[in-house]
Amino acid sequence: MTELKLQTSQAYFRDKFIPFDQANLSIASSPMLYGLSVYTVLAANWDADTKQLHLFRLRDHWQRLVNSARIMDFADFALAMPYDRFEQIIHELITRNDVRQDALIRATIFVDELVAGTKIRGLTNNFCAFVYPMGEILPRDGIHCGVSSWTRTADNMIPTRAKINGSYVNSSLMKNEALTNGYDDAIALDGNGHVTEGTVSNLFLVRGGSLITPDHSADILEGITRDSVLRLAAELGLPCATRSIDRSELYIADEAFMVGSSARIVPILSIDRRPISDSIGPITQQLRDEYARVQLGQNDAFADWLTTISY
């Protein structure tokens, strides 16, 4: 399989396709100075047998961009970039790069102004997107996590419901601390001491055969993969609860795992050096297998989640 190389790929930037290495912003731009941009990342899954690439929940990722732009009071992205146009751009981005492997697509709305200060309303916005290899953001065989000393930003500080580039300083501090302490990732607590999520992934526990995940009031991202797992669990007849989780409950889970567009479904082997499992648990494995089937169009119940490009 040919490796997808960023340095030779095409990107979409300011209403046109250009070489990736030319898609740059000024050091005086609002995203550079203040982090004023929002984004989404979606998975593209390659089926070598059918020569098809399946984009996972493309419309939902567009809607997340719309919602993030509304929260940030950016100019109305939905009017400037209706879904049909968004889908056309992503389709052309894929075909221009001849993507024939698992990949990720990152799409961003950014304030396209120079030295504009901390203002938002009324400023020019623009859109960009690029594609890159899926890679392994977290070890697929399992990860070791530590509860972070950094607190997750609250909705009334920098809303985690929106994917705001600047807010990922919070995640970066947590990730840096986790790696320094010998962990693969961090688990964040909110201002009330309740469990939220990982640095770039939502969190699930399994106790007594039931799935548990923090609810939206815990300053979490309303993750698309999280929603997919909840809906898959319902299809499989697995009981689910969305509620507050205390730190101590992490240590007595039967299974635990992270989910995200980049991470997919990754088992957690230990938390704060307390063992959870030696390997992937049975419920985590069941969900991971079914999630993989859905992403390749092998479950008709979720066929509407896929946008397929055939070669």
- Residue range 175-233, pLDDT digits in tens: 999 999 999 999 999 999 999 999 999 999 999 999 999 999 999 999 999 999 999 99
pLDDT value of position 117: 94
Q: How many residues does the chain have?
A: 311
pLDDT confidence of 75, banded at 50, 70, 90?
Answer: confident
pLDDT confidence of 135, banded at 50, 70, 90?
Answer: confident
CA distances from residue 228 to 141, 202, 232 in whole angstroms, order as listed: 21, 12, 6
pLDDT confidence of 254, banded at 50, 70, 90?
Answer: very high
Average pLDDT of the residues in 130-150: 95
pLDDT value of position 233: 97
CA distance 170 to 157: 12
Single out the residue of 111, 110, 102, 55 nearest to residue 83, CA to CA.
55
Judged against a pLDDT cut of 50, whether residue 13 lies above it is answered with yes
Percent over 90 (pLDDT), the chain? 95
Judged against a pLDDT cut of 70, whether residue 172 lies above it is answered with yes
Residue with tokens 């698309």: 224
User: Which regions of the chain carry the CATH code 3.20.10.10?
Assistant: 143-295
Long-range Cβ contacts of 294-299 (<8 Å, 24+ apart): 294/228, 294/232, 295/43, 295/45, 295/54, 295/56, 296/45, 296/47, 296/54, 297/47, 297/52, 297/54
Judged against a pLDDT cut of 70, whether residue 132 lies above it is answered with yes
- Which spans in the chain are helix H? 30-34, 58-71, 77-80, 83-96, 168-180, 224-236, 247-250, 282-295
Percent over 70 (pLDDT), the chain? 97
pLDDT value of position 5: 58
CA distances from residue 274 to 68, 111, 149 in whole angstroms, order as listed: 36, 44, 17
CA distance 202 to 228: 12
- Taking the domain 6-133, which CATH number applies? 3.30.470.10
Higher-pLDDT residue of 2, 259: 259
pLDDT value of position 2: 46
pLDDT tens for each residue of 21-63: 999 999 999 999 999 999 999 999 999 999 999 999 999 999 9
Judged against a pLDDT cut of 60, whether residue 3 lies above it is answered with no
Across the chain, mean pLDDT equals 95
pLDDT confidence of 4, banded at 50, 70, 90?
Answer: low
> Would you say 149 and 161 are in contact if contact means Cβ atoms under 8 Å apart?
no
- Taking the domain 143-295, which CATH number applies? 3.20.10.10
CA distances from residue 229 to 213, 238, 240 in whole angstroms, order as listed: 10, 10, 10
pLDDT value of position 6: 54
List strand residue ranges (DSSP E) for the chain, in order.
Answer: 10-13, 16-19, 37-47, 52-56, 103-111, 125-133, 143-151, 185-189, 202-207, 210-213, 240-242, 255-260, 264-271, 274-275, 306-310
Total Cβ atoms within 10 A of residue 156: 8
pLDDT value of position 283: 98
User: Which regions of the chain carry the CATH code 3.30.470.10?
Assistant: 6-133
What amino acid is encoded at 212 in this protein? Answer: I
